[in-house]
Amino acid sequence: MSRSTETRPAWMGKPTPFASVSRALGIVLMCALVIFPFLVVVSTSLATQTEIDRNGGYVIIPTEISFEAYRQIFNGTQVTRSIIISVGITVVGTLFSLTCTVLAAYGLSRKGSLFQKGLLTFVLITLLFGPGMIPVYLMVKNMGMLNTYWALIIPGAVSAFNIIIIRGFIQSIPQEMFEAARIDGASEWRVLWQLVIPLSRASIAVVGLFLAVGYWNNYFGPLLYLTDTDKWPLQLLMRSFVLQNNISSTAQQIPGMVRPPQQAVQMAFVVISTIPILLAYPFLTKHMSKGMLTGAVKG
Amino acid sequence: MAIDVKSTAPAPVRRLSRKDLQSGEPDRKVPFLARWRRDYPLLIMVAPAVIVLMLFTYIPLLGNVIAFMDYVPFLGIRDSEWVGFDNFTALFADAGFWNAFSNTLQVTALQLILFFPVPIMLAVFLNSVMRSGVKKFTQSVIYLPHFLSWVIIVALFQQMFGGAGVVNRFLINNGISPLDIMSNPETFKLLITFQGIWKDAGWGTIIFLAAIAAIDASQYEAAAIDGAGSFKRFWHVTLPGMRPIIVLMLILRLGDSLTVGFEQILLQRDAVGPGAAEVLDTFVYFNGVVDGNWGAATAAGLLKGVVSLVLVLAANKFAHKLGEDGIYKS
């Protein structure tokens, strides 16, 4: 315990044993509240039917590991397709959104350039007013984007908040570098590509990751705009599959095969849709607080 | 929205262009055509974002005129009939609208009382953890649920608290009758408040932790020398130091009073029925997109938008009265 006093200032005094113990308990409790549900989900997805039945619907630590549920999920054509759709929307959406955002952030970063003030105001006003669900829906419909993936990507692609975050980073690049580049005769496009993007790579990566998480998690967009169930991405399928217990249409039955435990398949579904988030998570935590704070809105 | 946590605003630096370098003229003296020639690539760069905002924010903003129309999709905006404030009159006579309105306010009130203080307390608690390794690990764990979709969160809650969930199985095994947590209209609003806490309270600590970190340590030292114990230091140093951020977050939350977890509620509305679960956003969705009452639904959405804007401006004004900066400085 001696290490814990290292950073403690002298004036603070030693904590009482009671304080130390309750603090430790608090930490354990907080972490357990988050981790325990995941443990149950992962364990149940790996358990066998008999064990789940014996326990009555869930398993905390499986005694026998079975990957039947995952095999089943990747057999079902609809599930496999929904994963591909979700990945596609996430990749294309993030690229499109990020391109618009970075271009606009650089285009608006130079004080005193032509129309800069007016365009910045145009962007910032959107932080104050939202147009509402119905008018946007009707716009998407009138543009013929209903039941296409573009409806999930384009309407929400540009967020003033993201533009302001990246713009802030671009403005913190030393001005001398721009001057040098311009004296050397570099065009704006070249400055953007060879100077701005390499130097603000970290902030662009963070915004990109947040965008990707948003596209991956989006469930209302597809519900609103995709009428064709064949086009459903993972989140929407998971809703009907896990929350509405609609298993028969999703899992293909192979004659003679043991039907995998329904609970396990549902939980396997949850695990699969969580994995991309967990993979991106280390990168998110690395930069997120920095991005959150330095991105604090500057007009 | 100036969240001035860490002021990194760069000093205004005069930008130089080739034109500038030759003439040494300040910006406003550069003729328009020369500025155009100099800056048009920047305008091209801004164009995609402007087009998207124009199409999907500004034009739909004008599209709110259908709140004053008997909108028929087949006729479009041009040929649909103007009805003045009929949609609003109908809305105010609709018990469903008032139910949604009341539910929304109830959820907001619950969130303000139960949810809002949690990130503040968690931040103070985390700040008291001295070992940076333990602190970092705890932070990473409690931030995680923020990144999960509502579908996953609801599925997790189902697994824990549903009819065949962990909690009820435990109760049954111990001879206690199971609790109806996931589909009880009576406690539905509490349920979604706690789901919100589980998902976002950890994430919400970030901004308060930054506020605590910005407090000058010498204040604590001075207080301790004057004999203030840990609670007094918290009350007289930490809390006042956090106050501007707390007020700011409160204003933002109040301005969002009429927005309460749309996706979250939509997912669980069927389990408890609209009586307990209908909020303004779901009312707009079901009335408009599902039932095709475009005019009335848009009217409800427009009303919500206008009231929200008024709320945020009023809350901000109130903060100024209390001597806080609020969202913008007066």
Report the CATH number at residue A205: 1.10.3720.10
**Residues B268-273, mean pLDDT to the nearest whole number:** 88
Q: Is B11 in CB contact (< 8 Å) with chain A?
A: no
Coil, helix or strand at residue B38: helix
Which residues of chain B neighbour A220 with C-beta distances below 8 Å?
262-263, 266
Lookup: tokens for A204? 């662009």
Q: Does B10 have pLDDT greater than 80? A: no
**Is the Cβ–Cβ distance between A47 and A261 less than 8 Å?**
yes
Which residues of chain B neighbour A129 with C-beta distances below 8 Å?
57, 61, 305, 309
Q: Search chain A and give the residue with CA nearest B60.
A: A135
Q: Could you tell me if A57 and A81 lie in one domain? A: no
d(C-alpha A73, C-alpha A175), whole Å: 54
Q: Could you tell me if A43 and A78 lie in one domain? A: no
Domain count along chain A: 2
Helix (H) or strand (E) holding A206: helix A201-217
Nearest chain A CA: its distance from B322 CA (Å): 23
Q: Is B217 in CB contact (< 8 Å) with chain A?
A: yes
- If you search the block for the tokens 């591909």, which residue do you land on? A84
Q: Could you tell me if A62 and A200 lie in one domain? A: no
Q: What is the pLDDT of residues B67-91, one digit of tens each?
A: 998 888 888 888 888 888 999 999 9
Q: What is the pLDDT of residues A96-131, one digit of tens each?
A: 999 999 999 999 998 888 899 999 999 998 887 788
pLDDT score of A259: 53
Q: What is the DSSP annotation of B130-191?
A: --HHHHHHHHHHHHGGGGS-HHHHHHHHHHHHSTTSHHHHHHHHTT-PPP--TT-GGGHHHH
All residues at 6 or more sequence positions from A155 whose CB lies less than 8 Å from its CB, including other chains: A136, A139, A140, B52, B55, B56
Q: What is the pLDDT of residues A45-92, one digit of tens each?
A: 888 877 877 777 677 888 888 888 888 888 767 888 898 999 999 999
| Among candidates B13, B140, B152 on the partner chain, residue whose Cβ is nearest the Cβ of A285 | B140
Q: Search chain A and give the residue with CA nearest B207.
A: A293
Residue B234's Cβ-count burial label (10 Å; 0-12, 13-18, 19+) is middle
**Residues A153-159, mean pLDDT to the nearest whole number:** 94
Q: Does A247 have pLDDT greater than 60? A: no
Q: What is the pLDDT of residues A270-296, one digit of tens each?
A: 999 999 988 888 877 776 655 555 544
Range of the structural domain that residue A47 is part of? 2-66
Q: Does A249 have pLDDT greater than 50? A: no
Of A27, A48, A66, the domain-final residue: A66
Q: Is A123 in CB contact (< 8 Å) with chain B?
A: yes
Nearest chain B CA: its distance from A253 CA (Å): 24
pLDDT score of A20: 86
Q: Does A261 have pLDDT greater than 70? A: no
**Is the Cβ–Cβ distance between B269 and B147 less than 8 Å?**
no
Instruction: State the sign of the Cα–Cα–Cα–Cα dihedral B221, B226, B229, B233.
Output: negative
Q: Is A115 in CB contact (< 8 Å) with chain B?
A: yes
Q: Does B3 have pLDDT greater than 60? A: no
Q: Could you tell me if A53 and A138 lie in one domain? A: no
Q: Is A128 in CB contact (< 8 Å) with chain B?
A: yes
Helix (H) or strand (E) holding B70: strand B69-70
Judge: B15–A175 Cβ closer than 8 Å, yes or no.
yes
Q: Which CATH architecture has domain B96-321?
A: Orthogonal Bundle (1.10)
Judge: B164–A57 Cβ closer than 8 Å, yes or no.
yes
Q: Is B78 in CB contact (< 8 Å) with chain A?
A: no
* pLDDT over 70 percentage in chain A: 86
Judge: B61–A135 Cβ closer than 8 Å, yes or no.
yes
Which residues of chain B neighbour A139 with C-beta distances below 8 Å?
55-56, 59-60, 63
Q: How many CA atoms lie within 13 A of A255 on its CB side?
A: 0
Which residues of chain A neighbour B267 with C-beta distances below 8 Å?
219, 239, 243
Which residues of chain A neighbour B279 with C-beta distances below 8 Å?
none
Q: Search chain A and give the residue with CA nearest B28.
A: A112
Q: Could you tell me if A148 and A283 lie in one domain? A: yes
Q: Could you tell me if A192 and A94 lie in one domain? A: yes
d(C-alpha B201, C-alpha B274), whole Å: 27
Q: Is A144 in CB contact (< 8 Å) with chain B?
A: no
Q: What is the pLDDT of residues A179-210, one digit of tens each?
A: 899 888 889 999 999 999 998 888 898 899 88
Inside any domain, residue A299: no
Please name the amino acid found at residue A144. G
Q: Is B286 in CB contact (< 8 Å) with chain A?
A: no
Distances (CA, A) of B143 to A41, B129, B150: 19, 17, 15
User: Using a CB cutoff of 8 Å and minimum separation of 24, what contacts does A70-77 make?
Assistant: A70/A45, A70/A268, A70/A272, A71/A260, A72/A251, A72/A260, A72/A265, A72/A268, A73/A251, A73/A265, A73/A268, A73/A269, A73/A272, A75/A251, A75/A252, A75/A254, A76/A250, A76/A251, A76/A252, A77/A252
d(C-alpha A243, C-alpha A246), whole Å: 8
Q: What angle do CA A147, A153, A155 make, to 5 degrees?
A: 90
Q: Could you tell me if A108 and A204 lie in one domain? A: yes
Each domain of chain B, given as residue ranges in start order, spans 18-82, 96-321
Nearest chain B CA: its distance from A187 CA (Å): 9
Centroid of chain to Cα B170: 36
Q: Could you tell me if A182 and A116 lie in one domain? A: yes
Per-residue pLDDT band at B58 (split at 50, 70, 90): very high
Which residues of chain B neighbour A223 with C-beta distances below 8 Å?
266
* pLDDT over 90 percentage in chain B: 44
Please name the amino acid found at residue A270. V
Judge: A238–B152 Cβ closer than 8 Å, yes or no.
yes
Q: Does B196 have pLDDT greater than 50? A: yes
Lookup: tokens for B24? 């040494």
Distances (CA, A) of A52 to A41, A62, A254, A265: 12, 9, 22, 12
Q: Could you tell me if A6 and A48 lie in one domain? A: yes
Q: What is the DSSP annotation of B237-260?
A: IIHHHHHHHHHHHHHHHHHTTT--
Q: Could you tell me if A85 and A44 lie in one domain? A: no
Per-residue pLDDT band at B21 (split at 50, 70, 90): very low
Q: Could you tell me if A192 and A61 lie in one domain? A: no
More confident residue, A253 or A62: A62
d(C-alpha A36, C-alpha B168), whole Å: 16
Lookup: tokens for A77? 């054509």
Q: Could you tell me if A121 and A143 lie in one domain? A: yes
Q: Does B5 have pLDDT greater than 70? A: no
Q: Is A199 in CB contact (< 8 Å) with chain B?
A: no
